[in-house]
Structure 1
Amino acid sequence: MDIRRIAEEERLSGAVISGGFIFLAGQVADDASLDAEGQTADILAQIDTLLEDAGTDKRALLSVQVILADINDAPAMNRAWDTWLDRSAKPARMTIQAPLVNPQWKVEITGIARAP
């Protein structure tokens, strides 16, 4: 089985391509001082870059999971999401509240996309 790893770090890869799919690691904001809307925009830009490095774009996203440290940040997260979203290719999405590893992080996003 062919496996390609993108944006490898010490403990994980930013994305892994295998079996016709792209699996995104949980992405968090580079700047944890941003509010939930800013962190979401930062994360979505990272996802754009990972998908571009994989040879595709956000229209290939099949499923997305959004984790919020505080569910009350959902409206702010959705403002950034709605600005970024391609309305002709909306992925399935779920949003939950859960504690994140770094208390400054407000949002973490992961997903699965179809590989080109």
Structure 2
Amino acid sequence: MSIERIGVGTRMSQAVIHGNTVYLAGQVGVAGESVTAQTEVILGKIETLLAKAGSDKSKLLQATIWLKDMKDFAEMNAVWDAWIDPDNPPTRACGESALATPDYTVEIIVVAAK
């Protein structure tokens, strides 16, 4: 079975396609922006990467969301809920974690079918 990589860098790829499954690297927004703005940017990046992989948000299988602080859960969810395909929501987990820099408040990782 073939493996295709999108956005290959020295440390990681932004997306990996194996068979009919698309795995995205953790996506972050613009450091220092609000939770809402970071989430909007992240979801836009996810849409772009899924499109490059031949998929879309209706084919999401799983999402893992990391928040710098769980107090931002409702703010992030307001953006997520407006974006997600209501007929095809993925499985999802959300937790609190220190992110790559203190200016990031949200990181989202998804897996999708092709």
TM range (shorter): over 0.9
> Aligned partners of 1:93 and 1:87: how far apart in 2?
14
2:77 pairs with 1:90? no
Tell me which stretches of 4 or more aligned residues in structure 1 moved more than 6 Å.
none
Correspondence 1:32-71 to 2 at 5 A: 32-71=31-70
- In structure 1, the gaps of 5 or more residues are none
Once superposed, what is the RMSD of the aligned Cα atoms? 0.9
> Aligned partners of 1:103 and 1:33: how far apart in 2?
8
The amino acid across from 2:110 in the alignment is G
> TM-score, normalised on structure 2?
0.96
- In structure 2, the gaps of 5 or more residues are none
> Aligned partners of 1:20 and 1:55: how far apart in 2?
10
The amino acid across from 1:74 in the alignment is F
Counterpart residue number, 1:77: 76
> Aligned partners of 1:92 and 1:77: how far apart in 2?
16
> TM-score, normalised on structure 1?
0.94
> Aligned partners of 2:10 and 2:38: how far apart in 1?
23
> Aligned partners of 1:91 and 1:79: how far apart in 2?
16
* Offset at residue 32 of structure 1 (A): 1.1
* Offset at residue 9 of structure 1 (A): 2.2
3-state DSSP of counterpart to 2:98: coil
Identity %: 41
